[in-house]
Amino acid sequence: MDFGLSEEQELIRDSFQGSLSRISELDTVRQTAEAGAPMDESIWAELCALGMAGLMIAEEFGGAGLGLLEAAVVAEELGRRVTPVPFVASAVMAPLAIRLGGSEEQCREWLPAMADGSVRVGVAVSETAAGARENAGVTAENGVLSGRALFVLDGAGANGYVVADTSGGLHLVRADAAGLDNVALKTIDRTRAVCELNFENTPADPLRHGEDVLQTVIDAGRVVLAADSLGAGEEMLRQAVDYAAERKQFGRVIASFQAVKHMCAEMAAELQPCRGLIWHAAYVMAQEPEALSLAAAFAKSHTDEVGRFVARTATEVHGGMGFTDLMGLHYWFKRLGVNRAYLGSPERVRAEAARLQGFAA
C-alpha cells in the first residue's frame, strides 16, 4: 500500500515549491519583516493566482475544493521559505469555520471573495485553544460581542474575523464594525501578523453551527501549524548541513567532525516521524473525523518539541554565525518558537490528548 502523496498532491507541492523559491527569497522576507508590514502583497498575489487562498473552499464558491492534506503540503513549503503571508487562518481555519458552521447566505457572502484573495479573514480562538489569559475572553449577548481576544491569527490587515466566544460559539465580525478596536501585536516572528481585538458592544453575525465546528477548526489549525514547523525545521537542517560542509576549522571542514555528524543525523532522525503524524492527522479529517482531535494533538505536540530541538541544534552547528542577521537563521528559529505557542503549547495539547484517551480527568 502506498502511503505517499498522490500525483495531484505532488504537483501542488512542486508548484508551490518552485514559485516560493523564486518569490520568497531571504532578502524579500527580511525587507518585509524590517518594514513591519503584515504581509508581502506581491507574494500574496502570486500565491493566490496559484489557488492558495481558495485551497479549502468548495468549487461552487470559486475555490479548489481540496482538503487538509493538500493544505498541509502547502504549509510545509511556506514554512520552508518563512513566507510572509497569511495562511493558517485566512486559507484554512476561517474558510473551514464558515463552510461547516455558516448558513448558505454567509457562505455566499464571504467565501468567493476569500477564494480569490481579495478578502482576508483572521481567526480569534486563542483563548479556547491555548487557554484564557487574565482580562481576555469574548462574551456574546443579543448579537453583540464584548471583551478582548489576544493573538488573533492573520489578524493584522484582515477584512473580517471569525471569533470564538467563551461559550464555544463562533461569530463573523467585519473589520469596520462599530466598537471594534484592532491593535497589532509584535511577536518575535516578524514573518506573520497577529493582533489583539477589543470588542465593545460590537455587532456580530453568529455562525449557526459554531459550537459544533470550533474544535474542528482548532484541530485543522494545529495540523497546518505542525506542517509549517516541519518545513521550517527541514530548512534549518539543510542549512546546517550545507554550512558544515563549507566551514573549515583546524584545516578540515567541520562536517568531518564526528560531533557535528551526530548533531545533523539526530536532527534528521527526529524530523522524520513528524511528516507521518502530520499526514495522518490531515488524512483522518476526511476519512475518520472523530479521530481528528487526537491525531492533531499528537502531530502538533511532537512536531513542536522536535522543532525546538532542531532550531537549537542547527544554530549550534552554525556556531557564532548562527546568531547573525547575515545568515538569517533566526527567521526560521523564531517561526518555530511562535508555532509552538499558537493554538496550544505542547504541554497543553498533550494534556488534551491524555483526556481524549481517558488517561486524565
Domain ranges of the chain: 7-115, 121-211, 212-356
216 vs 294: CA distance, rounded Å: 11
99 with 58: CB under 8 angstroms? yes
pLDDT tens per residue, the chain (361 residues)? 466 888 999 999 999 999 999 999 999 999 998 888 878 899 999 999 999 999 999 999 999 999 999 999 999 999 999 999 999 999 999 999 999 999 999 999 999 999 999 999 999 999 999 987 888 899 999 999 999 999 999 998 899 999 999 999 999 999 999 999 999 888 999 999 899 999 999 999 999 888 889 999 999 999 999 999 999 999 999 999 999 999 988 889 988 899 999 999 999 999 999 999 999 999 999 899 999 999 999 999 999 999 999 999 999 999 988 888 888 999 999 999 999 999 999 999 999 999 999 997 6
Residues forming a β-bridge with 121: 160
Q: How far is Cα 253 from Cα 245, in angstroms, rounded to an integer?
A: 6
The Cα–Cα gap between 308 and 311 comes to 5
Q: Looking at residue 320, what is its pLDDT?
A: 83
E strand intervals along 154-207: 160-164, 170-174, 180-185, 194-203, 205-206
CB 28 within 8 A of CB 40: yes
- Helix residue spans in the chain (DSSP H): 7-23, 26-35, 41-49, 68-80, 94-101, 104-115, 126-129, 210-246, 258-287, 292-318, 329-341, 346-356
May I ask the CATH class of domain 212-356?
Answer: mainly alpha
Q: Are strands 121-124 and 160-164 parallel, antiparallel or unpaired?
A: parallel
CATH superfamily of 121-211: Butyryl-CoA Dehydrogenase, subunit A, domain 2 (2.40.110.10)
Report how far apart, in Å, the C-alpha atoms of 220 and of each of 21, 216, 238, 294, 311 are.
26, 6, 27, 12, 24
Which sign, positive or negative, has the C-alpha torsion 256, 258, 263, 264? Answer: positive
pLDDT at 2: 61
pLDDT of residue 357: 93
- For residues 114 and 120, the answer to whether their CB atoms sit within 8 Å is yes
Instruction: Identify the pLDDT of residue 360.
Output: 78
Q: What is the pTM of this model?
A: 0.95
Domain 7-115 has CATH 1.10.540.10: yes
- The one-character DSSP state at 166 is T
pLDDT of residue 201: 96
Give the model's pLDDT for residue 1. Answer: 45
